[in-house]
Amino acid sequence: MQPLLDLAPLLVFLVAYYLEGFYVATGALMVAMVVLVAVDWLWHRRVSTMHAVSTALVLVFGTATLLLHDQRFIQWKPTVFFWLIAAALIVNRWVGRQLIVERLLAPVLGADRSLPRELWLRVNTWWAAFYASIGVANLAVAWNMSERFWVNFKVFGLTALTLAFMFAQIPWLLRQARAPA
């Protein structure tokens, strides 16, 4: 259920875009993100950091887009979000007990298998580079392609790239995993 909820604002944006245009879609995205945060709070009594940051960025960049009637602001949002993730991953190498990628991917390995810290650091670096790169890709598409192409790239392309990147690592992680000593 949570993955569907996470994708709901993107779908709201896409449907609103095709029915009413870019600026209505931006407003709809803003409302959908606020609803997502409210649902987080009602169901879990907490709001995930990712949802809170993404909602704040959507509200700031969406407001600028609507007030200034300039779509470039909301087009920057994914890039800023991805670069913040990349920065958090880089900082996480030195701050925190466990790497973010380890928290996310260790359950895939199962309770009876683990990776040494140096391999988790490598995966962490891959993720930071990936998020920095797709932030650049988002800007390249936003600046060089049509609005419609960017909307489809944002909704389908960036989502597919992220899922492909994550799932491509699973076989490697499983091969590298070892039973605890």
Q: Do 110 and 84 share a structural domain?
A: yes
pLDDT tens for 108-162 read: 888 777 888 999 999 999 999 999 999 999 999 999 999 999 999 999 999 999 9
Predicted local distance difference test score (pLDDT) of residue 20: 97
Predicted local distance difference test score (pLDDT) of residue 2: 73
pTM of the full predicted structure? Answer: 0.90
Reading the block at residue 16, the tokens are: 């609103």
Residue 81 exposed, middle or buried by CB count within 10 Å (0-12, 13-18, 19+): buried
pLDDT tens for 10-53 read: 999 999 999 999 999 999 999 999 999 999 999 989 998 889 99
Quote the CA–CA distance of 34 and 9 in Å, as a whole number: 9
Q: Within a 10 A sphere around the Cβ of 93, how many other Cβ atoms? A: 13
Predicted local distance difference test score (pLDDT) of residue 101: 93
Among residues 41, 69, 97, the one where a domain terminates is 69
Q: Do 43 and 78 share a structural domain?
A: no
Predicted local distance difference test score (pLDDT) of residue 175: 87
pLDDT tens for 84-115 read: 999 999 999 999 889 999 998 888 888 777 88
Range with lowest mean pLDDT among 1-5, 15-19, 71-75:
1-5
φ, ψ at 72 (rounded to 5°): -60, -30
Half-sphere exposure of 14 (CA within 13 A, CB side): 14
Quote the CA–CA distance of 50 and 169 in Å, as a whole number: 21
Contact 147, 98 (CB under 8 A): no
Q: Do 54 and 28 share a structural domain?
A: yes
Q: Do 58 and 103 share a structural domain?
A: no
Domain of residue 129, residue span = 71-181
Number of domains in the chain: 2
